[in-house]
Structure 1
Amino acid sequence: MDDLSRYSVIERSRAGCAVEIRALRPDDRDRLLTAVDHTSARSLYLRFFGPRRHFTDKEITFFLNVDFTSHVALVAVTEQDGEPVIAGGARYLVTQPGQAEVAFTVIDPFQGQGIGGLLTRHLISIARGKGLTELIAHVLPDNAPMLKLFERCGLPLRKKRDAEAIHVTLQLT
């Protein structure tokens, strides 16, 4: 797809629910903030490497304004009580030619349903289509679900641990 800002695919979660994997849009602001409100302190800690509950307007603007070239962001949208809700998100930022850093979050009520795997598969496909050769991530050592997700994605994987985190490199080629 040439215009990634219109990216949209319907998938099924492990529970059989429809999940739209689509490009994050600026008009997702309220849904994104609601998703953060429904994310546990622990999940936010694992994602941001520290206690977080609120974000500045500058941070929110950064999260929402993606160019789909060097900054790609996808969300998993499903229905809850008849309303669309963001169940998770994934993004990458190009850090150098051929390489991008990835980050994922699945909102607590939707964890364990395969949404992280769906987001990973689509983000990898987009990254390959953009000519990237490596995805890197920094994962806290106690974030076992994220480490398992990377191990199960089917790509060659390197891990290097330091005092702060496990640095994961996924080879796309």
Structure 2
Amino acid sequence: MVQAGNYLASEILRDGRTVKIRAIRTADRAGLLAAIGRTSDQSLYRRFFTFKHGFTDQEVDFYVNVDFVSHVALVAVLEEDGQPVIVGGARYIVGPPGQAEVAFAVDDGHQGKGIGAVLLRHLVSLARNAGLSALTADVLPNNTAMLKVFGTSGLGITTRREPDATHIVLQLS
């Protein structure tokens, strides 16, 4: 079993850059807030289903303090001007038996490079190792990029379209 803070992998993105995928850490608070600051209102709306003009200390604590059992969170880190920069993140939160809900965010300047798909692959691997059988997500109907990430994941997928969201179930086994 992977322990919190120990998960680390590297992947090559479509543009040839290497991205590190690792467990989020409490020390990532400033980096996470910086990534949010580089994310447009529209992208934040697609992630949170509401306009977010800031985050409370309690919300940020929730995002960076995970137990890596019932709440697993990864960040995508790229080198920018010689410094590591958090450019995206993904998480799952265990819910009904055998299932977890997933959520993703990638800052606007790094969207379209395959980071969401890479994060999904790593979450799937962790979820399978944890014995989960399905990942679920609610996606806004106009969030075609995220729908494509799920649709091209190679996993069994069930979708249920509702007026305000598309409910996705990814089968892990």
8 Å CA contact retained: 2:4, 2:67: no
The equivalences for 1:85-124 within 5 A come to 85-124=85-124
Q: SS at the partner of 1:103? A: strand
Alpha-carbon distance between aligned partners in 1 of 2:68 and 2:105, rounded to the nearest angstrom: 19
The equivalences for 1:6-85 within 5 A come to 6-85=6-85
Report what 1:168 is aligned to.
Answer: 168
Alpha-carbon distance between aligned partners in 2 of 1:165 and 1:118, rounded to the nearest angstrom: 23
Alpha-carbon distance between aligned partners in 2 of 1:150 and 1:28, rounded to the nearest angstrom: 27
Superposed displacement of residue 4, structure 1 = 4.1
Alpha-carbon distance between aligned partners in 2 of 1:53 and 1:127, rounded to the nearest angstrom: 31
Give the length in aligned residue pairs.
173
Q: Does 1:144 align with 2:144?
A: yes
Alpha-carbon distance between aligned partners in 1 of 2:96 and 2:4, rounded to the nearest angstrom: 20
- TM value normalised by structure 2: 0.98
Q: SS at the partner of 2:149? A: helix
8 Å CA contact retained: 1:116, 1:149: yes
Root mean square deviation of aligned Cα: 0.9
Superposed displacement of residue 161, structure 1 = 1.4
% same residue? 54
Alpha-carbon distance between aligned partners in 2 of 1:92 and 1:2, rounded to the nearest angstrom: 15
Question: Which ranges of structure 2 fall in alignment gaps of 5 or more residues?
Answer: none
Q: Deviations over 1:45-97 (max 9, x none)?
A: 00000111310011000001100000000000001111111111000000121
- TM value normalised by structure 1: 0.98
Q: SS at the partner of 2:15? A: coil
